[in-house]
Structure 1
Amino acid sequence: MELEELSTNPLHKVKFRKAKVSGEIDRRSVVSPRQARELLTAVTYVGRSRGPMLAAMFACMYFGGLRPAEAAGLRQKDCRRPEKGWGLLTLEKTRPQSNRRFTDSGQAHDERGLKHRDLKHTRTVPIPPELVAILRDHIAAFGVGEDGRLFRTRTGGVISGSAYAKVWQEARTYAFTPDQVASPLAGRPYDLRHAAVSLWLNAGVHAPEAAERAGHGVDVMLRVYAKCIDGQQEIANRRILEALSA
């Protein structure tokens, strides 16, 4: 068309319409707290050092709701780890994996800012004492890299998505029954984040606060996680009855 070699644009006759994708989370993939802890324990059984070095990274996805790339970019200075009580993660950098041809550095893992945020913006995520203890133990056992990163390969490189996915799939076979392994339950490491946000919403955390911790817009979060919020029908029924009897 640009070369004016066609008299009309044939694409105007195409009637194909792309199917709408809701983006909603499959609630079958969301693990319970007990299942999540069993999975994190199972990760430590994978390999001599691969699993133990990654267990805390997976724990950040579940207890902190971090995206895998955010957990991969986590540095020691980003973690406030008090001896008692809640800690705090200050997220600033991520390490997403891309084709080398499409990164500025020419490496598979380019250092970037947070998703949906300006390069200079940070996000703070309060973390429960259980994750604080896990991070303290991880640093004591494995130290940190030259750049302060907590999670890395034996040579100090960034752990590839295929590497930690392989560890995850093996851990599922240790923690789950064969039927559960064949199901969507925690099929990907990312499902730990979905379980975290679902837990927050089911616990009654207000949507704006949960969205801030997860790095989501409120509207997107409620649309994506709508079917993962359990017990809302019973709560709504009770409130309606209370209103009717007032």
Structure 2
Amino acid sequence: LATVALAMMGVGAKAPTPEEVRLAVRWAVVPAHKGEEPPPELVRPCTWLSQRSRPLSDLQDPRVLRDVQYRLSFKLDDTPAAGETSKRRRRGFNTAMEYAIESGYLDANPLAGVKRAGPKGGDAVDPRVLVNAVQGSQLLTAVSYVGSVHRNRGRRLVAFFACQLYAAMRPAEAVGLREQDCHLPETGWGTLTLRETLPVSGKRWTDSGKRHDKRGLKSREAKADRPVPIPPILVAMLREHIEEFGTAQGGRLFANERGGVLGTSSYWRVWQEARPFALPPHRAAAPLARRPYDLRHTCITNWLNDGVPVAEVARRAGNSPEVIHRRYEGCIDGHEELNNAKIMSAMGWAEAASTAEEPG
């Protein structure tokens, strides 16, 4: 919405700068600020926006709509925004337009039928972020060396990152993982039954007034769950984690140092400190496993490269097969010859080829 406001702010000799507009909108849309006076540095842009912004009806004007579309797809320096950024902005604006329709301000969504601008396929996974088996093991070991022994900043998060590397869990799913959701036998494979996520939104944005809101699994019904089989190595790590650190309130496996809900900044800092321990300088400076989420990408890619059917990979990862195909197509290696052989066999060509190769 702060981006769209640049296209809807109106014109004038004393118009605020784009940076001021973005700061003003970001302040104004916070629910806790309703009825408050803006801070002194934002009084002028907030006043301008409230008095000079275009009405929603102007979105019926193709020129205005093209400007909105441009703002959704480009950055302030006029360079194209990342594909995922453009999609996220458009989703947010669509939500606002649907609300405007429900409230009677508009009859139809002005973006409906408008051709999308910007790059396509921008959410494809970059193969450079993926780690091999040795690097993955080294990174988990390095996590255990972060922080002093009595604080255990890193050691309490080794199994947390392992859930992403070996079970393709999203970080928010691992944050919400509880002991009662885990089947961890002494030997063999186990199962994690994922039921909720705890994404960070900030106290100003949640209904509960806490930094985390309880939500269902991504792209699923609110009460739906997702059983995920986990290999023996992850079973052992989770058993050891529970034995050493116990559980937090509600049976959660992973918590911050004070026993509260594990925040993004907490595990992000640990990860950034661990990478230089595990990787040589040229690797640490590269995109390799730059984000904890790259461990999930690695796990999904490994499943695909090991021949696990796409539908099963999608089920375990909590995605649709279409998303798996689109995002990971460029990461699948070594299957061309195998697939060629399957096609040869299906078409009856393999037998003919072997007969032709026989002597005499």
Shorter-normalised TM-score: what interval? over 0.9
Read off the aligned partner of 2:349 and give its amino acid letter.
L
Q: How many residues align?
A: 246
**Equivalent residue for 2:243?**
140
Greater helix proportion: 2
Is residue 211 from structure 1 mapped to residue 314 from structure 2 by the alignment?
A: yes
Give 1:74's aligned residue.
177
Query: CA 1:120/1:5 → structure 2, altered by over 3 Å: closer, same or farther?
Result: closer
Aligned AA (1:245): A
For 1:4 and 1:30, how far apart are their aligned partners in 2? 47
- CA change 1:33–1:11 in 2 (3 A) is same
Structure 1: distance between partners of 2:256 and 2:117 = 41
Cα distance between partner residues in 2 of 1:228 and 1:11? 40
Partner of residue 117 from structure 2, selected from 18, 36, 48: 18
Q: 1:128 aligns with which of 231, 249, 252?
A: 231
| 3-state SS of 1:213 partner | helix
Output one character per residue of 1:155-193: Cα deviation in whole Å (capped at 9) or x when no partner. Answer: 211121111111111111011011110111101000000
Q: Point out the more displaced range, 150-159 or 54-63.
A: 150-159
* Structure 1 vs Structure 2 CA RMSD: 2.1
Match of 1:175 in 2: 278
Residue identity opposite 2:350 in structure 1: S
**Structure 1 residue 33 displacement after superposition:** 1.6
How far did 1:233 drift?
2.2
Partner of 1:37: 137
2:131 is paired with a residue of what secondary structure? Answer: coil
Structure 2 residue runs of 5 or longer lacking an equivalent are 1-53, 71-115, 352-360
Larger radius of gyration: 2
Q: Which residue in the other structure is 1:193 paired with?
A: 296
TM-score (norm 2): 0.65
Corresponding residue for residue 244 of structure 1: 349
Change beyond 3 A, Cα 1:13–1:24? closer
Amino acid corresponding to residue 24 of structure 1 in structure 2 = A
User: How far did 1:144 drift?
Assistant: 0.3
> Secondary structure of 1:53's match?
helix
Q: For residues 13 and 201 of structure 1, do their structure 2 counterparts lie closer, same or farther at Cα, with a shift above 3 Å needed?
A: closer
Unaligned runs of 5+ in 1: none
Map of 2:305 onto structure 1: 202
